[in-house]
Amino acid sequence: MQKTVCELFAGVGGFRLGLEKSSPEWNTVWFSQWEPNRTKQWAHDCYVAHWGDINKYTGVDISLVPKNSIPNHNLLVGGFPCQDYSVARPLPGSSGLEGKKGVLWWQIRDILVAKESPFVLLENVDRLLKSPASQRGRDFGVMLACLAVLGYSVEWRVINAAEYGAGQRRRRTFIFAYKNDTCYGRQLIDSPQQIIAETGFFATTFPVQCKEIFKQITLDYQDIPGLSSVFEFDFKNAGYMKDGVVSTTRVTPIQEEAIPLRALLEQDVTEKYYLGNKLEKWKFLKGPKKINRTSKDGHEYIFSEGGIAFPDSIDLPARTMLTSESSVNRSTHIIQDPQTKKLRFITPIEAERIQGFDDNWTNTGMPEKFRYFVMGNALVVPMVTRMARKLEEIIDNE
Ligand SMILES: C[S@@+](CC[C@H](N)C(=O)[O-])C[C@H]1O[C@@H](n2cnc3c(N)ncnc32)[C@H](O)[C@@H]1O
């Protein structure tokens, strides 16, 4: 089996870079990246600046791409948003599942139907497992059910990159799905408990301890609209699904030493990244507060929030970087520069290092605020490189 890849929601190529850092054998045959409501497509341009374009459709809304025009591939990768995956029962006479327009899970599902990708590696926020708040676990349940219908088994894990040696406390759900008729699928005959704790894709890549009880549930995956309307389940941070039987438990990572932010900082950072006379404004933003507010309907209430670390500790890994990193927002990192002892923002290169990208990866012509934005969207590249090693073993064995 060839190590051919299709990268969806490619951003600036975190998955591709992570795979290629592991082996030159990975061959990305197609990618898709389109930022909604923007004329200038900075992420797509950055991706193309590194790897060139492939053929048509790489820079358009994935929902407009005819799925059978996508080249065949053996690994489908992508980081996609947590949205509402619910489905309504189709009208009598209509066939097939109609997901809501604009919900990107349905694009992934349609590609899997058209291309039958044997292996799939997806990334999403940790909240995916609990969404929506009003019907916890429904969305992930719908996703697992769709994958079961298409003949996939699934392993998942919530991974905090800092617990496995990275420089950022970024917690994300990774989902590995594989067709039941692959060698990997046929050979993995261990119990769900063993797969989750010892022998599966994530357990061997990101080792864990497992002391909690396992929970099991069977998904009625033949009736996804019915499942969507009633399903609720407390998915834990690790799990496995085969033929609709879901096993899950809370695992504890066997932690590795993280990289402190201090080790990722640049030297001799120019004046423009310093806070200057904005200190009071930032103190207020980051500090605890109680403010009287009036809602639209005239109701008065007290808005309150606790304080957060100010400045950010550089002896810890960075906090989760968001797309708003460059804006006036309390989640923006502010550090005390160890050379000058003055407060400053992180630089675009530091943002890249926090995500494990090469220095100046996004220095491809986009304005600085977009360099932070695309980094906030990206993933921690070394996490993918680790998974790549295991994926190589699996694909070589096919
Ligand atoms: C969470 S980010 C993934 C970033 C990527 N993993 C990286 O390393 O940069 C999701 C990406 O999907 C893109 N996107 C959103 N809607 C899209 C659509 N309808 N078609 C194609 N891409 C889309 C966004 O522009 C964003 O770059």
C-beta of residue 120 within 8 angstroms of C-beta of residue 185: no
Task: Render pLDDT for 349-393 as a digit per residue (tens, 0 to 9).
Answer: 999 999 999 999 999 999 999 999 999 999 999 999 999 999 999
Q: Which residues line ligand 1 (CB under 6 A)?
A: 9-15, 32-36, 43, 61-63, 79, 104, 377-379
User: What is the mean pLDDT of the segment spanning 142-157?
Assistant: 97
Ligand 1 atom, smallest distance to 374 CA = 9
State the pLDDT at residue 56: 82
According to DSSP, residue 301 is labeled E
Is there a catalytic annotation at residue 82? yes
* Placement of tokens 């940790």 in the chain: 126
DSSP letters of 149-174? HTTEEEEEEEEEGGGBT-SB--EEEE
Task: Render pLDDT for 3-41 as a digit per residue (tens, 0 to 9).
Answer: 999 999 999 999 999 999 999 999 999 999 999 999 999
Q: Which helix (H) or strand (E) holds 75?
A: strand 75-79
Residue of the CA atom closest to atom 26 of ligand 1: 11
State the pLDDT at residue 95: 61
Burial readout 327-360 (b: 16 or more C-beta within 10 A, e: otherwise): eeeebbbbbebeeeeebbbbbbbbbbbbbbbeee
C-beta of residue 333 within 8 angstroms of C-beta of residue 318: yes
Pocket test for ligand 1, best of 9, 80, 355 (most atoms within 8 A of CB): 9
* Predicted confidence band of residue 60 (pLDDT cuts 50, 70, 90): very high
Cα–Cα nearest to 77, from 201, 145, 166, 175: 175
Residue predicted with more confidence, 87 or 336: 336
Residue of the CA atom closest to atom 27 of ligand 1: 11
Going along the chain from its start, the domains and CATH numbers come out as 4-256+380-396 (3.40.50.150), 261-376 (3.90.120)
Strands (E), 270-376: 289-294, 300-305, 334-336, 343-345
Entry field: residues in the chain: 398
* Predicted confidence band of residue 270 (pLDDT cuts 50, 70, 90): very high
Q: pLDDT above 90 covers what percent of the chain?
A: 90
CA of 35 relative to ligand 1 center, distance in Å: 7
Residue of the CA atom closest to atom 23 of ligand 1: 34
* Mean predicted lDDT score pLDDT of the chain: 95
CA of 222 relative to ligand 1 center, distance in Å: 30
CA of 34 relative to ligand 1 center, distance in Å: 6
Ligand 1 atom, smallest distance to 379 CA = 8
Residue of the CA atom closest to atom 25 of ligand 1: 35
Pocket test for ligand 1, best of 50, 377, 379, 381 (most atoms within 8 A of CB): 377
**Parallel/antiparallel/unpaired status of strands 27-31 and 4-8:** parallel
Ligand 1 atom, smallest distance to 36 CA = 16
Among 6, 46, 82, 146, the one annotated catalytic: 82
User: What is the mean pLDDT of the segment spanning 42-56?
Assistant: 94
State the pLDDT at residue 211: 84
CA of 65 relative to ligand 1 center, distance in Å: 15
DSSP letters of 3-44? -EEEEES-TTTHHHHHHHHH-TT-EEEEE----TT-SS-HHH
Residue of the CA atom closest to atom 2 of ligand 1: 377
CA of 99 relative to ligand 1 center, distance in Å: 19
Task: Render pLDDT for 61-73 as a digit per residue (tens, 0 to 9).
Answer: 999 999 999 999 9
State the pLDDT at residue 100: 82
Least confident of 82-86, 139-143, 228-232, 353-357: 82-86
State the pLDDT at residue 94: 62
Pocket test for ligand 1, best of 33, 352, 364, 375 (most atoms within 8 A of CB): 33
User: What is the mean pLDDT of the segment spanning 318-347?
Assistant: 96
CA of 11 relative to ligand 1 center, distance in Å: 5
Task: Render pLDDT for 79-122 as a digit per residue (tens, 0 to 9).
Answer: 998 888 888 777 666 666 778 888 899 999 999 999 999 999 99
Q: pLDDT above 70 covers what percent of the chain?
A: 98
Ligand 1 atom, smallest distance to 17 CA = 8
User: What is the mean pLDDT of the segment spanning 150-173?
Assistant: 98
Ligand 1 atom, smallest distance to 10 CA = 5
CA of 161 relative to ligand 1 center, distance in Å: 20
